[in-house]
Amino acid sequence: MGKLGRNVPASRRRDRVPPPKAGPPEAGPDAPHRSAARRLLSSLRPRSVATEVFLLQLAVVLLLIATAVVALVIQDRNRAIQEAGDRSLVAAESFANAPGTATAMKSDDPTAALQPHAEALRVKTGVDYVVALSPYGFRWTHPDPDQIGKHVSTSYGEALEGEPHQTTFDSSLGKAVDSTVAVFDAQGTAVGLVTVGVTVDKVTSVVEHQLPVILAAGGVALLLAAGGSALVSGRLRRQTGGLGPVEMTRMYEHHDAVLHAVREGVIILDGDGRLLLANDEARRLLALPPEVEGTAVTGLGLSPALAGLLGSGRAATDKVFLAGDTLLAVNVRPVGPKGGSVATLRDTTELRALAGRADLAGGRLRLIYEASTRIGTTLDVKRTAEELTEVAVPRFADFATIELLDPVLHGGEPTGTSMEMCRVAAAGIRDDAPLDPVGARMHYVPGNPVALLGLTTGRPVLVEHLATADAWRAQDPERTQRVVEYGIHSMISVPLQARGQLLGVVEFWRSEQDPFESDDLSPAEELVARAAVCIDNARRYTREHITAVTLQRSLLPGVFPELSALEVGHRYLPAQAGVGGDWYDVIPLPGARVALVVGDVVGHGLHAAATMGRLRTAVHNFAALDLPPDELLAHLDELITRIDRDATVEGNTESITGATCLYAVYDPVSGRCVLARAGHPGPALISPDGSVTFPDVPVSPPLGVGAGLPVETAELQLAADSRLVLYTDGLVEARGRDIDTGLGMLREALARADGATPDDTCRTVLDAMLRTRSSDDVALLVARTRLLDPEQVGEWEVPPDPAAVSRIRTEATRKLEAWGIGEAAFTTELILSELVTNAIRYGASPISLRLLRDRDSLICEVGDGTSTSPHLRRAAFTDEGGRGLFLVAQMSRRWGTRYTDRGKIIWAEQALGTGAAGDLSGLLMADL
């Protein structure tokens, strides 16, 4: 660049004015002037690229310095105005707040008192003036004594209100800032003003300190730019200065040798599509004749498609063309400003063959991988078989069918005694294939290759030509003939085996693809092997699921009896993964009361179902003892703890820790409902007016982890036609939804179900809460409350006097006759005489009697103030007493004791209707 970059004399440049035609170049009167002008222009033009870069850097540095100086000046001006304002405001507030300023302003001669101090402050602080004003704007002080006493017209109302007033204005000395503040006496009254002014020029400028630094930095930058340009110029001279004609010729020869030695064809075309250069490989691949340079590409004898691409000059990447028996991969790249192009050619015939085999192997690997991800997504036998056919068609076969043994479909173990199969899945590229449909029964004849080879040896069977396979056609000649005529020409049959047992058969069929070959047996066997494991898992799950569902359905309650206290609706939905441990129950209690219970055992499967049955049985047993809710849950907690401890001792890892329960007892006589819960969601309550609330019921730890902690109860007073809603957590909790959102949705669903029956309420709630199958099982119990008619209840207070028994009997008989059941009076008198007499003799006050008529039952309840429980015994023939409770038990349908906070209640329930008195007569005759 150093040599090439020098300017050619102006007389030899084409872009200059030509010299005169006659005489030497210097001749003529204007020759000295023209030479000087040329020398000046030559000196102003850049000598090299490095010089141009240096000039550009110089312009950039100067621009940055100018910008920095302007920005600094503007910034310094703004800072000076701000500092002048701050200085004037500080001086004004200092003078206004100085001790004695307010007193001096209120004196008889403020000027005499303030003028010396104002001037002293002005001199000390360097401000331009310090002026004290009266509240009405008359000057008391001023640097110019002639101005004292004159009125100031500037607005100072804002300052008198306590806010400093500041203005910026242009004075004769330049821009200035004025600050005005008010002076207040001890009572807060403005007694005067102080205004201080400062010119901006008095604030020290920083430009003069920073400008040398900026200029010095600019100079250093210029020096660095100059040094860099000098280095670049020297480098360019070293890179280009050593090459001469010989070296350039030798370089061309080397490049030409390389061009013709590479095993890739190279051709160069001009903008008109004419051939400029072709190396030896290009001549061989395209079979070009000698001396073809300059010929148009359309005249080279190439295929129209290849000639069109080369002549167009468009860019192309790996475009494949057939040239004779050779597959050419062509790449075209446009070059040059005149539209030329360079094309490269590669022989890809062998590469294409290898790539085809690699693609086939890769396709099979992708098929196997896809099968591992798409087959077995569910634990359903039929769906798993359908997934296998969906994967195989159309990538591996045109049609696919699957038959399974009958026991496999129902979760049983394949016995091998029968080869009867059922077609469970079929898929194809078309729906009109004459193959056996899904649901058809299949039985292979002994000569069939599927039965002869596949089912006996367990190896896949290939039938390359179905039209000539006589043994296969013997299975069903009519149908197989239609299959062949349809165009299905080959088949692979693979036994479906898992754990050494035959589960079924899979057939792959082809009609439009090439016939199956022996290489296709391996991927077919791999596909079926993966599916066999999934089908076997689904079969075993189906067996366990059927067992668990059967067990759970047998453990859950069936049809609830008709109750006077409640109208009940209930639902149970198993989880998507199978049955679980959610349960519910409605237990009739003595005195027309009813117990409602909902529980949940964590987990799914047989263990959860069995555990649920054990808990439900335990609750029934504890409820038979008429225990209150808190005591029942406490006993249940102890029971589960003992069961877990026994399981641990026996080495059984499966325990029932994590069970929850809510237990409620409703009394239709008083409308009182007592609830207790252990780790379970609280109930919802729908009032008769339709409002929905969630009563606050104290929660205890889940069953089995309570460690003996006390269980607290809550008492609700329910009006008639209220609906109490008990549920498990699967209703309100879901993946991606917290419990607060679920409770809000439940509240809205219950509000929409206002006035509906309990069964309709269950349906409305499940439709709103479970739009899709839940991942957890759900139990829901809705109970509509009723109250017994007061006419169905008779109550008496019994004095602790044996003589009162006769009167109580008479009043009770009168009540029975009013109810229209006078035929039960005799039995009732015997029962209440025995119970009341025992309460008077062995109990304590208060003693009470209550008769309840509930449907076909008559309940007699005698309460007293002791907790001593009577027990039934059989008296000997010689005993004079001890037969009372025995007679009560014989004359009653059932009897028992329940404890209250203030004692106990002995109750006996009679069956109303024909036959009750006759039974009693038979008992008396037997005793006689």
Burial class (CB in 10 A: 0-12, 13-18, 19+), 699: middle
Burial class (CB in 10 A: 0-12, 13-18, 19+), 34: middle
Tokens 């400062």 locate to 198
Secondary structure of residue 284 in the 3-state scheme: helix
Reduce the secondary structure of 55-94 to three states and give it as a string.
HHHHHHHHHHHHHHHHHHHHHHHHHHHHHHHHHHHHHHHH
Separation of alpha carbons 359 and 527, rounded Å: 18
Separation of alpha carbons 218 and 353, rounded Å: 68
> What digits encode the pLDDT tens for the residues 88-144?
888 888 888 888 888 888 888 888 888 888 888 888 887 888 888 888 888 889 888
Which token pair is 205?
């400028």
Quickly list DSSP for 712-781.
Answer: --EEEEPPTT-EEEEE-HHHH-BTTB-HHHHHHHHHHHHHHTTT--HHHHHHHHHHHH-SS--SS-EEEE
pLDDT above 90 as % of the chain = 16
Q: What is the DSSP letter of 289?
A: P
Which token pair is 87?
């200085």
Which token pair is 836?
């009341």
Burial class (CB in 10 A: 0-12, 13-18, 19+), 203: buried
Q: Which residues of 827-845 are buried (b: 16+ CB within 10 A; e: fewer)?
A: bbbbbbbbbbebbbeebee
Average pLDDT of the residues in 756-781: 84
Average pLDDT of the residues in 570-590: 82
pLDDT of residue 205: 54
> What digits encode the pLDDT tens for the residues 850-898?
999 888 889 999 999 888 777 666 655 554 455 677 778 888 888 888 8
Q: Residue 234: pLDDT band by 50, 70, 90 thresholds?
A: low
Separation of alpha carbons 494 and 461, rounded Å: 6
Strand partners, 271: none
Which H or E element spans position 821?
none
pLDDT, averaged across the chain: 79
CA–CA distances in Å: residue 125 to residues 110, 203, 397, 825, 854: 22, 12, 102, 119, 106
> What digits encode the pLDDT tens for the residues 484-499?
999 999 999 898 888 8
Q: Identify each DSSP E strand in 650-702 by its residue range.
A: 660-667, 672-678, 684-686, 692-693, 699-700
> What digits encode the pLDDT tens for the residues 471-485?
788 778 888 889 999
CA–CA distances in Å: residue 6 to residues 45, 228, 337, 640: 11, 20, 27, 105
Q: Which residues of 632-656 are buried (b: 16+ CB within 10 A; e: fewer)?
A: bbbbbbebbbebbeeeeeeeeeebb
Poorest-confidence range of 348-352, 445-449, 924-928? 924-928
| Gyration radius (Cα) of the chain, Å | 55
Which H or E element spans position 535?
helix 521-555
First to last CA, the chain: 146
Which H or E element spans position 157?
helix 157-160
Q: Residue 569: pLDDT band by 50, 70, 90 thresholds?
A: very high
> What digits encode the pLDDT tens for the residues 503-518?
889 999 999 888 998 8
Asked if 693 and 684 count as a contact pair (C-beta separation under 8 A), the reply is yes
Strand partners, 379: none
Quickly list DSSP for 464-508.
Answer: S-GGG-HHHHTS-HHHHHHHHHHT--EEEEEEEEETTEEEEEEEE
CA–CA distances in Å: residue 248 to residues 107, 243, 245, 259: 106, 7, 5, 17
> What digits encode the pLDDT tens for the residues 134-153?
888 888 898 888 888 888 87
Amino acid at 14: R
